[in-house]
Structure 1
Amino acid sequence: MNLIKQDWFSDLKPNFKVLSFKERFLCAVGALLGLAISSWISWSVLGGLNVWYIAPMGASSVLLFAVPSSPLAQPWNVIVGNLLAGLIGVSCAMWIPDLTTAFSLAVGLAIFLMMSTDSLHPPSGAVAITAVLGGKAIHQLGYYFVLYPVLLNSVLLLAFAVCFNRLMGRHYPYPKQINSRSKDPTPTQKVGIQPQDIQRALNEQTELLDISQYDLEKIILEAQELANERRVIHFVCRDIMTKDVITLYQEDDIHQSLDKFKHVNLMSLPVIDAEQQLVGTLALYDVVEWFKRAADPRAPWEFMVKQIMNRKVVTVNPEQPIQDLVPYFVEKSFNYIPVLEKEKLVGIISRADMIAALQQQLINLNIEHSTQ
């Protein structure tokens, strides 16, 4: 296929797993019931108090019911994070007359203290702002605001989240995964990635990741198991070829082809016709030579890719062993070799693909020898 244009709107979207309709529906129902029940109980306990429920609980419900496995959604974070933010917010409201300065400083201090106590909870930032901008009713409560509605709302919503998530078969609070029989790593960890390996990698990160160390380790191990199932000793071209091929059409303007070379930073591209059949290759060297000829008024007029492309192309079929390709990459310094199936271009194999495949074959052979 041709070069895919960058969709700037897609770049703004997160790389986030979309859950099934059932899971999305349950998350929404959990938040609805959790907020309704906890707010009703708060109203019953606090009577006619104007601030019987605060808006940040809506943000907390997103974490508690949609991503309960997040480190930011654990009980310690909900309770301690909201308490710290409430205390700081009330203090700033009482001692700093300028509202903008008060709520800005409150949120900044809340973030610092939550990160220092490992209790980061994003909705707590809204708790700090509420304490400053909540109006006369909240200001009259003073530090009681931290107890009610903040602590009361947090405990009630958290209690319902624990019951609901467990009823749905989810683990919440998320349990620590340790070897209960000894201090050594678990049996799986001994022969694979160990917690200290993950910890060392995480220590290199300068940003906070919204995933627990165990979850990260679990995902990596599961991915490794899937990769092992796919492991083969003898690769064929189909196993390693790139299917999403950047191509030129033979009717393309040469100037347009140059733009594509510049964008993808490749030295050569395959050329196809309207039926997706390979008809040649065009190297950046060919374009440079065309520019040289274009300066000569006696040179024939050429403006399409098919007029300057190389029509002699070495190809392979998908089931061909990759060992057949080695001489072309080693002796003739090919950058890539097209893969054809029923005379149509279905992929290419680059020098980098070959290096990765040969390295994996060496690893697989070493594993076999070590287990014999």
Structure 2
Amino acid sequence: MRLFLSRFLPELSPVSRRERLRAAAGALVGILATGLVCRAAVGSEALPILIAPMGASAVLLFAVPASPLAQPWSILGGNVVAALVGVTAASWIPDPFVAASCAIGVAIALMMALRCLHPPSGAVALTAVLGGPGIRALGYGFVLWPVAANSLLLLIAALLFNNLTGRAYPHQRLAGPRTADPPSDARVGFRAADLDAALEDFDQVLDVDRSDLEQILRRVQMRVYGRRSGSITCAAIMSRDVIAVAPDAPLGEALRLLRHHRIKALPVTDEGARVLGIVTQTDLLDKAAWDRAGPRLGWGRRLRLTAERGRAPHGCAADIMSPVEPVRPDMPAGELVLRLSEAGLHHLPVVGADGRLVGIVSQTDLIPALLAEAGAARAPAQTAPA
């Protein structure tokens, strides 16, 4: 019986309690803000203030903001297209059930053609047809109010809430190198064309971004490689004489340390040697403005940091550092390959059990270790008697 009932339950990816609370709070805030703003704008009960399909849109925008069905064009384009189709069907087809079925079918076809498929938009089309005399009396005005207004306000709420709580929205694809070469982790294993061919064979709409799906498969692939690797750990290959920089150190000081020690990355640590981030050569090139006096913080980045933090930056290492998740000394070298690839970095700080910086490991450290391990694994096979 348990096996039979399990077939009716979806297999969802594991989600933390914090993420569940974030999604629920986001939907609460989004719908409340949309309703209050619309009520203030209308000022009367003559027009609909909030339509039911917005509840379904809130589920997508706040619970699964990475879904292709939850992106800005999906909600705006999908809801507006569905409303237009629904109003047209209601005015042209006398029978409400025939009009409703035609509205749903045509709306889905148009949304898929325009790449704005949004499941709640089906309810928008039905509302335009079956919403009652008040809705039908609005005619094409229903498209602008309440559909477009509700959709736009809910989208603004999602943009603010998701980004303020640490969820990038609209969903961002991982940026690779701007060259014709594929990323390093895409040069082994399956190719992007293989994934495209498999998706074409599958021939169904998947509620996951194609680039996200590729990243998931790449991570699975790298974890398999890591599991097959031997017993070399970060502790065996890391550099222990680490040059770090304080978060309030001027940019010129960070540049001087990189040049003097001939290194390419500086962990940023507090007074207790706990890692706050990392400053790399790329950070100095991309996030700082340069003049004859050296690197400084440009006005564009100053304004952006002020908006994010609510206070003015000081032109120090903390203003250009990249976020980084340190690794532990006992991490296998194979898993380190995955972490470097995911972070898009060439260096990762290593921290001990107390969270204090104990070393730094780089791709330069990793490659000879993996090559030596591969050579040692082949040697017995080559020397074995026939």
TM-score, with structure 1 as normaliser: 0.60
Cα distance change on mapping 1:365 and 1:51 into 2, 3 Å: same
SS in 1 for 2:12: coil
Q: Aligned residue for 1:120?
A: 117
Cα distance change on mapping 1:367 and 1:68 into 2, 3 Å: farther
**Counterpart Cα distance in 2 of 1:191 and 1:176:** 20
- 1:118 Cα deviation from its structure 2 partner: 1.1
Q: Aligned residue for 2:41?
A: 45
- Does the CA contact (< 8 Å) of 1:185 and 1:194 recur in 2? no
SS in 1 for 2:206: coil
Deviation track 1:324-345 (CA, whole Å, cap 9, x = no partner) reads: xxxxxxxxxxxxxxxxxxxxxx
The structure 2 residue matched to 1:34, chosen from 27, 30, 37, is 30
- Does the CA contact (< 8 Å) of 1:193 and 1:217 recur in 2? no
**Counterpart Cα distance in 1 of 2:376 and 2:128:** 61
Alignment of 1:153-172 (within 5 A): 153-172=150-169
- 1:367 Cα deviation from its structure 2 partner: 12
| 1:91 correspondence with 2:73 | no
Q: Aligned residue for 1:15?
A: 11
SS in 2 for 1:145: helix
Deviation track 1:51-88 (CA, whole Å, cap 9, x = no partner) reads: 11100000000000000000100111111100110000
In percent, how many aligned pairs have the same letter? 45
Deviation track 1:213-234 (CA, whole Å, cap 9, x = no partner) reads: 111111111111221122168x
**Counterpart Cα distance in 2 of 1:169 and 1:141:** 40
- 1:365 Cα deviation from its structure 2 partner: 8.4
Q: Aligned residue for 2:257?
A: none
Cα distance change on mapping 1:367 and 1:214 into 2, 3 Å: farther
**Counterpart Cα distance in 1 of 2:210 and 2:221:** 17
| 1:148 correspondence with 2:155 | no
The amino acid of 1:130's aligned partner reads T
Q: Aligned residue for 1:290?
A: none
- 1:109 Cα deviation from its structure 2 partner: 0.6
Cα distance change on mapping 1:175 and 1:36 into 2, 3 Å: same
User: RMSD of the TM alignment (CA)?
Assistant: 2.5
Q: Which has the larger radius of gyration?
A: 1
Alignment of 1:230-309 (within 5 A): 230-231=227-228
The structure 2 residue matched to 1:203, chosen from 194, 200, 205, is 200
- 1:9 Cα deviation from its structure 2 partner: 0.8
The structure 2 residue matched to 1:81, chosen from 78, 81, 97, is 78
The structure 1 residue matched to 2:188, chosen from 188, 191, 197, is 191
| 1:175 correspondence with 2:172 | yes
The amino acid of 2:26's aligned partner reads G
- Does the CA contact (< 8 Å) of 1:43 and 1:52 recur in 2? yes
SS in 2 for 1:93: helix
Cα distance change on mapping 1:231 and 1:150 into 2, 3 Å: same
SS in 1 for 2:202: coil
Q: Aligned residue for 2:105?
A: 108
Q: Aligned residue for 2:224?
A: 227
**Counterpart Cα distance in 1 of 2:175 and 2:120:** 30
Q: Aligned residue for 2:280?
A: none
The amino acid of 1:176's aligned partner reads R
The amino acid of 1:52's aligned partner reads I
Cα distance change on mapping 1:36 and 1:182 into 2, 3 Å: same
- Does the CA contact (< 8 Å) of 2:35 and 2:50 recur in 1? yes
- Does the CA contact (< 8 Å) of 1:93 and 1:102 recur in 2? yes
- Does the CA contact (< 8 Å) of 2:189 and 2:221 recur in 1? no
- 1:178 Cα deviation from its structure 2 partner: 4.6
Unaligned 5+ runs, structure 2: 231-372
Cα distance change on mapping 1:205 and 1:367 into 2, 3 Å: farther
SS in 2 for 1:173: coil
Cα distance change on mapping 1:228 and 1:86 into 2, 3 Å: same
